[in-house]
Each structure stands twice: as structure tokens, then as C-alpha cells.
Amino acid sequence: MADIPNGGQVEVKGSGAKPYILKNTGGVYSCSCPAWRNQSEPIERRTCKHLRKVRGDDAENARLGAAASRAAASAPNSPTNRVATSKRASSASSDGKAPPVLLAHSWENDTDLTGWWMSEKLDGVRAYWDGTRFLSRQGNPFYAPDWFTEQLPDYPLDGELFGGRKKFQRTVSIVRRQDQSDDWKELAFVIFDAPSLDAPFEDRIAHVQQFVDDVAPSYAEWLPHEPCQGVQHLRSELARVEGLGGEGLMLRQPGSRYEVGRSYTLLKVKSFHDDEARVIGHQPGAGRHKGRLGALEVELRNGTRFSVGTGLSDAERGNPPPLGSIITFRYQELSNDGVPRFPSYVGVRIDAEPWEPQAQRKRS
């Protein structure tokens, strides 16, 4: 059957006067119908009867892997007894259990960071290698090609799938695909820890460096660290990294062990704040943006609503993030009402846990 080309869209007549719009954005398919928008699955794992009508059940099942049966069950008039044609996609599907990763707190100028291990905060996608596959923070698999992972070890590694500074959205579009595309050649797995090694951080990062030096994997590298010499050194390094388009810095406490969850042994330092919001609407553009997106209407987890109209490329305005997707944005500060000031769009998150709109939570 005919497919939707990357970046393209097709119209399918529904029960109403307006047709439904089906899109393919970097291998992620979406539909404007309520059945697709109201599913609780991450956007890259949703389907509906309209996508199945255009692409066919076999193509949709192969795309979704083992999740196809669950998604198909929520799509009216679609069969649920087919199996995925991709054995790898089926075997690599996540059981939904989040990996045991270490998470950072923000530095609030209340800790002397002299002697801490300092590295660049990469603007990529966090990836936990469990010895056989990559998992997101939420436990969803990333479908990396065999040639990308063939030299990785059979023990866990913590790192980032990184496509370069200022390329977060491009990295996301590659990582979220399920067709094991050659686009993965644009990425590297940058390793910054070995979670299973019960040793101080210095020994763990030395182990990572030794592995990379000995094996020389084609698509993996270790993340360099240097001792922080004090606040002045921290500020100058932060300015240098941000001047190059980097996101900020990470600081590791000397001698610290790998912990699960948020820990004050790992701190992030940035000039701007960032947060996540759920897309709840699309505001039409005006002027040169007439006929495409003007701004995203979004909602924070606490129900605060506002608009994000800067940071979007022309391509993203023409094919904006679907309703229900989770985006990352940067801002300078919060107003007295808790609204982010000067929010700027960064990209769609694929490793964030979705949440219900505030109105639905109140009703329940």
C-alpha cells in the first residue's frame, strides 16, 4: 500500500465535514482524529484506523512492534490478532520498567563545587544501555541498528545519544524512528558512567575510558571531565560552553557512588531554566507565519497555561508537534503568577512521561 513520505501528509475523509490529516514526521506518524489524540501511549506508539487504512495493518504492526496489539485494541475496527513482522522490534519492546538511572538536581549557588568533576551537559537524548539495548528514562526502547551497538559491552552503561550542539530536534527525530535508519550514523553514544560498577566515580569513568580506548567502538565515546577549580572557573567554562551552543555543565561529587533517582552528588548548572509542557492547542500565525503555526498553547504539570511562540523553525511551524505531545522549553524566570517569562521552544521530548490535562485530573 502507498505510504506517507517523510515530512508529508495526506487527508482521509472522516465522519465530519473536515477530513483528518495524517502526517509522517521523521518516521513518527500522527492523525488529527480524536481516537489518535486521546490515547495515553507516547505519540510514536499510537495508531488508529485511518493510519491502518492508508499504511496497512502489516506496516503499522511492524512499526509498533509488540505495542501494536495494545494500540490496535484502542483503534476501532482494526484487527488485534496480527503479530509484528519485525522479530527484532518485538523482542526489543520495553516492559515499561524504567531503568535505574541517576538524575541531577540544579545547582543553587549553595554548594562549593571546588574539586568536583565538571563536564559539558549534552543536548541529546538520555540513553541507558542495559547490555542488550538502549532504553529511555521511562523504559521505552530505542531501535538502534545492529551496526551501531555491535561493539557495546554486555553490562550497563549510562550516556547520551548525541548529534552535536544545537541539534537536539534532529537527534530526537532520528532516535524516535523504529526503522533502524542509516541516519543513526549522525549520532554518537557518549558514555558518562558505568552504573553496575560498585566503585567511586573516578574508577567508573576510568573504566569507561579504558573500554573505549581498548575496543574503539565506531559510534561510542567517553565524556571527558575536569576538576572544577572554583566559582570563577565554573562561570568561565559555562560561558565558553554556552557560547559554542552547548546547554550547560554537569558536576559530579568526588568519590560519589552511582545512585538511583535524584541525588545531590550530581548537579546541573545552566544560565537558563528549562521545563516540560504538554501541547494543548495550536494558535494560527499572522504576517509571514500566516497559514501555519503562530504559537503552541501548552500546559505545565500544575495546570499553568501559556503560549510558546519563539524557537520554532519554519518546518516546525508547518508541521507542529501534535496535541498531547510533551515539549521542552527554556525560559528566564517565573512571573508572580508562576508563568514562565520569555519561553522558547527547544523540541519534542520522547523520554518524558505524559500526563493528563489539568481539567481531566480535576474531574477524576
The residues annotated with a catalytic role in the active site are 121
Q: Are strands 220-222 and 141-142 parallel, antiparallel or unpaired?
A: unpaired
Alpha-carbon span 157 to 131, nearest angstrom: 8
DSSP secondary structure string for all residues of 108-141: -S-S--TT-EEEEE-SSEEEEE-SSSEE-TTS-E
DSSP letter at 330 equals: E
Element (H, E) at 30: strand 28-31
What's the start-to-end Cα distance of the chain, in Å? 42
The cell for 242 is: 554556552
Radius of gyration of the CA atoms of the chain, in A = 21
CA distance 92 to 313: 33
| Strand-strand pairing, 261-269 and 326-331 | unpaired
Q: What angle do CA 164, 168, 174 make, to 5 degrees?
A: 90
Residue 364 DSSP SS3: coil
Separation CA 199–CA 88 (nearest Å): 34
As a whole number of angstroms, the distance between CA 126 and CA 337 comes to 32
Dihedral (CA of 324, 325, 326, 330) sign:
negative
Q: Which residue in this structure is represented by grid cell 576510568?
A: 206
